[in-house]
Structure 1
Amino acid sequence: MPSQRNTELKRPDQQCPRLLIRIGATADDLRIEQAGTGRKKYAALSYCWGRPGSLTLVRENYIQLTNRLPWMDLAKTHQDAIAVSRELGIEYLWIDALCIIQDEPEQQTAEIKQMATIYVNAYVTLAASSSEGGQVGFLRARKPTLTVSVTLSDGAHFEVFAREVVSHRTFDQGWDAIEDTMYYHESNDAEITTRYPLFGRGWAWQERLLSPRVLHFTDTEVVWECLDSISCECGTMEMFVGNRVLSLRRYISDVPRDIDTQPEQLARDRALADKYDMLDLPMRGHRFFRNGLRNSKINDYAFMHACIGRPPTEFFTEGKSAHYDRWRGVISQYSRRKLTFGQDIFAAVSGLASMWHAKRENEGRYFAGLWEADLLRGLLWTCTANSDNMNVPRPKHYLAPSWSWASVRRPLDWLSSEPERTMYHASILDVVCVTSTGDPFGTVSDGSFIDVTGHALKATITSCREKSTTAFVFIDYHNHAFTTDCHPEVQALIGQEVLCLLWATENIDARTGQGMDRCLVLKACDTTSNTFTRVGITSSLPRGSHLFTSTEKINIRIV
């Protein structure tokens, strides 16, 4: 493994999961045991469960499995994880199916609350990235290398070895993936399904971001990912100097504020930058500065502070806007992943949310996946236009209020707008978010709402496009497009009245004062109260916000 100078994190509050698998020297030594107090070095497994039928821990077999864990009854992926942990000299292993009592809801809830610490404190996370289920394992035979014999005209003979070209771009997804760079990529469903099914799993996104070290086992090679670098067997990953997920994982772990600040490291980075003549470049806005120097010896942070001549901590003294931009990026990526059980929508990011809150404890509460200090911006989420998912209905059972991104199961995003170029027209009066267990990061119950005040106009839904997520409302003698949250729901509302609540003007031009006016499209819950549900969001109203601001402000409740 690569040297891990920067990932030996000091965690004085480190705690172990309640139960761990003790590996021992042979299969006969396997058993589940209570971790007790004190530190223990353990590995954690991140994988797709797949079809049911594998051995899991339940109340009935608890005593039996604490005495001996039968090797032949284990899922192949669990066997492979045990084998790798043993080879690495790690005595303990955490697997959710075997270390959480599956038919004890209270213990499941308690362990989910500890999910952040389980993966943060794991010595290494073993990721079965190319395995679609627990029964297939991840230590599998690879395709053989192709050997081609070549003879030149002078009689010289040599052999060329080749293998299938493998895309590594899926590993470079992240909150700040930059378009117009050679490494920008948002994996399509086919690539995730066929080559990296784990990357399409909702729980695995949190597990990857929280883990200080990850070993990805794919069908072609092993990929090493830590807080210092990302490497693969073929060497391609070493060009991912500006890897977006790497920078996000560092941010979550607080490594950026301490990384590479030692004088000898600064000197080495500057020497490397001198070698590549970077110091003489006009850096601001330069393509190399934006993309990061693509050399395996220079990481992105070292590159920045070596070229600019400032300590790296200056680059991480960011306001709360960037902090919440990162969170919205995390959720955008998360929305593209699948969950077997819809009710896990908040649980599968609860560990990330708890760590995010710890970084900004003085900036408010967490409401159904959104932050109090970022609520005005956070409510402006929009579903992405994709005909493959446009007809996905709302979940049958209540998961979240309609103003939360978690109320729909579709890929979503936030359109970019700089804070200084955004004006909010609506105000939030009150927020009530009810959780079933009292855990602010846990499952949300019916009864949650937001009270707001703002300018609004009545409108009529006139039509819906069949093969897009666009519908139209009629305001001021004009049709205006809006993006639907749930297309089938809006199709059923054609001809009905809705309310357009002016929320913000974004991307304001400093010269003209004009920008994009964003409205929440709301449907009345009944005819007697001012209670509404969200059904969509407008991207722009060409006639401008003056249509709204000439009206009196009203108070409404969104549920």
Structure 2
Amino acid sequence: MDYKYSGRTSIRVWAPQETTITEDKPGGGSVPVIQLRQAGLRPRIRPYVTSANINGTPFAKYISPSNIFPTKWTYIDQLFGSSSKWAQNQISDCLNSHGECRRISEDVSFTPSRLINVSISELGGDVVLEDDTSISPGSEYVALSYCWGGYDPDCMTTADSLEENMRRIPWSKLPETFKDAVRFTRSLGINYLWIDSICIVQHDKRDWHRQAGLMWDIYKHSHVTLVALYGSSSKSGLRSTSMENEVTKVVEFSLDQHRWPLYARLPHYLEFSLDPDSSKEIEKRSPLLSRAWAYQERMVSPKVLYFTESEIIFQCYSHTNCECGIFRNRGLTVGKPSSIFWDDHRFKNGSQGTPVTTEENQGVWEWVAGTWRRYIVKEYSGLLVTKPEDRLAALGAMAKQFQKLRPNETYLVGLWSGSLIEDLSWKCSDLPLKENRRGWKDTLKRPYSLPTWSWASLQSGVDFPRRILPIGREVVAAVSEASCDYEGHSSLGLLTKSVLKLRGKLTPGMHFYSSTRIYHEKVHMDHDDDGYQCIPQQQKVYLFWMFADFRVSSQERTTRYYLILRREEEDKNIFSRAGVVEYTTTINENTWNMIDTSKTYEDAWRMLDKHSVMTECEIR
């Protein structure tokens, strides 16, 4: 028997004999009641089944083959009770069952410079800031990731309040998110908590640079990181409601004196989806996910507890689960690529312990280089920072992680020396027409004082040409010189000088036609989220050939990738970047059969190469 309710939900119930449907109206609402009459066999029901207490309040249980034992959905006042126990079980299972997670957690020698002690009973609930002179080396601690939201809490550490905070931080000075984090840390049995606004001396440039350089260590070695997805500031708290408030009673089963109400809820909004509207819903409900600093905090942390409005989601290197049990090992929109967790041991020659060259480990190296471009930069580039100078600093922990995977390379304002030609071929994501208010602009806004060849110089999401196998790639341009100098001699400091010189084929103008080949041109002009780069009609544009992708199949296809450059100084080969262009030619099967392959390529690109000159270009 199938019973369809509201034309949207189908519930399949098998009963051996008679089934009747009546209407029940608890609380004034109309809810269908399915009555099952027993006839020697128990009815088999496989829906989202719940039980209810005497008042009809649901204690929801989710039953599936992978979750045999029911898990109760918790109330908000049980956040530090059953939710904490659930989180402890997840962490324990991770450390006991996941080899990769256990191996990374073995190194516990790191201790942050400052931590908040939440366990001193003599303080009567208050907390105190301690430095590494009084913290035992290797002490476990919890880290917090949250939205500042333009709010500076009273407990914030500054040069004036440092001594006071190291004596005592009154409970009344902590905003709600910090209070929840303290309670949850205590419920986990952990003595220490790290919160940036308390553990870093604010408005102290020297301390900020020192601590910013430790972000990888701080989050990498935390016992667990609490991620406050729900709140828009530290005043919001970790959670606002309980799971039973998200469910709706849609039907009820009854058998004799027994009743089983059935409840439904919307899918997890963090579940991976190709629906373009899902990203808007995620940003609306989880403002933290649009913030640049928070990106590396959750990516680097081995174990993460995401606090949504109503429940907790656990994520480690190997596993994902949520309190209600539905999300076990399913894809999250805040997922992590496995390659970022590889340590440099995968690039070492066994017993020798020497770095493996790119040639020896080409496949792994290409995967890591591609992960940086297609995953890290693509996701991070569209995120927001409050201070423009933090644009690259907020990615510093991820850069440090990848530096371990690329020990012989130099990090260059968001790009890497070993794959620089391909890294330079980034393209700005297309602007929706409704957001492209000003159309074309002669000059782009570059608030970060970075060179035009770095994607980080623009507040814009970026992407890269994706290499889809089976495709060959030939890098044509060569790097003559590439270097960056930073204030304080750290890649997290402000950039003071950069040099990029490339040698390759430079072609003036963009007029290339051939009646014997089919060309597909894709032009991607740079933009600053407020309009696209416009080249004045009287100004020459130059194309600089970077690399080519080619595929051999029933149709032979080649795509060339060029930088679009504009000359900055007359009679000097000094340029700035304005965009990228892709030229694709396809040779159909008939042409393939009649014409020699090498001559075909020569003819197809003859017009494009006719006016190119081998040139060394400096790009600023």
Query: Does the TM-score normalized on the shorter chain lie above 0.5?
Result: yes
**Contact 1:130 / 1:196 at 8 angstroms: preserved in 2?**
yes
Q: How many equivalent residue pairs?
A: 473
Q: Distance in 2 between matches of 1:390 and 1:510?
A: 39
Match of 1:397 in 2: 447
Amino acid at match of 1:33: E
**Contact 1:517 / 1:545 at 8 angstroms: preserved in 2?**
no
Encode CA deviations 1:441-493: one digit per residue, 9 max, x unaligned. Answer: 54323x3131111112212xxxxxxxxxxxxx544599954111127452363
Amino acid at match of 1:553: M
Match of 1:51 in 2: 150
Match of 1:127 in 2: 227
Amino acid at match of 1:97: S
Q: Distance in 1 between matches of 2:520 and 2:329?
A: 49
Check if 1:553 corresponds to 2:614: yes
Check if 1:199 corresponds to 2:298: no
Q: Distance in 2 between matches of 1:11 and 1:443?
A: 34
Q: Distance in 1 between matches of 2:339 and 2:327?
A: 17
Match of 1:338, SS? coil
Encode CA deviations 1:259-290: one digit per residue, 9 max, x unaligned. Answer: xxxxxxxxxxxxxxxxxxxxxxxxxxxxxxxx
**Contact 1:20 / 1:94 at 8 angstroms: preserved in 2?**
yes
1:252 to 320, 341, 360: 341
Structure 1 220/436 Cα, relative in aligned 2: closer, same or farther at 3 Å?
A: same
Structure 1 437/511 Cα, relative in aligned 2: closer, same or farther at 3 Å?
A: farther
What does 1:328-339 align with in structure 2 at a 5 Å threshold?
328=373, 329-339=375-385
Q: Distance in 2 between matches of 1:230 and 1:378?
A: 32
Amino acid at match of 1:16: T
Structure 1 188/438 Cα, relative in aligned 2: closer, same or farther at 3 Å?
A: farther
Structure 1 391/522 Cα, relative in aligned 2: closer, same or farther at 3 Å?
A: farther
Question: How far is 1:552 from its partner?
Answer: 2.6
**Contact 2:339 / 2:371 at 8 angstroms: preserved in 1?**
no
What does 1:413-452 align with in structure 2 at a 5 Å threshold?
413-417=463-467, 421-445=472-496, 447-452=497-502
Question: How far is 1:144 from its partner?
Answer: 5.1
Task: Give the CA RMSD over aligned residues.
Answer: 3.0
Match of 2:508, SS? strand
**Contact 1:250 / 1:256 at 8 angstroms: preserved in 2?**
no
1:82 to 170, 182, 189: 182
Amino acid at match of 1:422: R
Match of 2:397 in 1: 351
**Contact 1:422 / 1:508 at 8 angstroms: preserved in 2?**
no
Match of 1:399, SS? coil
**Contact 1:129 / 1:197 at 8 angstroms: preserved in 2?**
yes
Check if 1:160 corresponds to 2:262: yes
What does 1:455-470 align with in structure 2 at a 5 Å threshold?
455-459=505-509
Question: How far is 1:547 from its partner?
Answer: 3.2
Q: Distance in 1 between matches of 2:398 and 2:208?
A: 17
Structure 1 545/69 Cα, relative in aligned 2: closer, same or farther at 3 Å?
A: farther
Match of 2:488, SS? coil
Amino acid at match of 1:515: T
Encode CA deviations 1:392-429: one digit per residue, 9 max, x unaligned. Answer: 98445343211111111111111212596111221111
Q: Distance in 2 between matches of 1:452 and 1:187?
A: 41
What does 1:314-329 align with in structure 2 at a 5 Å threshold?
318-328=363-373, 329=375
The worse-fitting range, judged by mean Cα deviation, of 397-406 and 331-340 is 397-406
Match of 2:29 in 1: none
Amino acid at match of 2:490: D
Match of 2:419, SS? helix
Percent identical across equivalent pairs? 24
Check if 1:409 corresponds to 2:459: yes
Structure 1 187/380 Cα, relative in aligned 2: closer, same or farther at 3 Å?
A: farther
What does 1:195-234 align with in structure 2 at a 5 Å threshold?
195-234=285-324
Q: Which runs of 5+ in 1 are unaligned?
A: 173-182, 258-315, 460-472
What does 1:88-167 align with in structure 2 at a 5 Å threshold?
88-142=188-242, 143=245, 145-148=247-250, 150=252, 157-167=259-269
Q: Distance in 1 between matches of 2:520 and 2:126?
A: 71
Amino acid at match of 2:172: M
Could you say which structure has the higher strand fraction? Answer: 2
Match of 2:562, SS? strand
Match of 2:109 in 1: 14
**Contact 1:394 / 1:407 at 8 angstroms: preserved in 2?**
no
Q: Distance in 2 between matches of 1:331 and 1:247?
A: 13
Check if 1:522 corresponds to 2:572: no
Match of 2:613, SS? coil
Match of 1:41 in 2: 140
Q: Distance in 2 between matches of 1:350 and 1:483?
A: 28
**Contact 1:28 / 1:68 at 8 angstroms: preserved in 2?**
no
Amino acid at match of 1:248: P
2:548 to 501, 505, 512: 505
Question: How far is 1:116 from its partner?
Answer: 0.1
**Contact 1:456 / 1:501 at 8 angstroms: preserved in 2?**
yes
Q: Distance in 1 between matches of 2:278 and 2:604?
A: 37
**Contact 1:342 / 1:399 at 8 angstroms: preserved in 2?**
no
Structure 1 107/501 Cα, relative in aligned 2: closer, same or farther at 3 Å?
A: same
Q: Distance in 1 between matches of 2:579 and 2:173?
A: 49
2:416 to 368, 371, 394: 371
Q: Distance in 1 between matches of 2:208 and 2:125?
A: 28
Structure 1 221/253 Cα, relative in aligned 2: closer, same or farther at 3 Å?
A: farther
**Contact 1:530 / 1:556 at 8 angstroms: preserved in 2?**
yes
Q: Which runs of 5+ in 2 are unaligned?
A: 1-88, 347-360, 586-602
Question: How far is 1:186 from its partner?
Answer: 6.9
Q: Distance in 2 between matches of 1:104 and 1:396?
A: 26
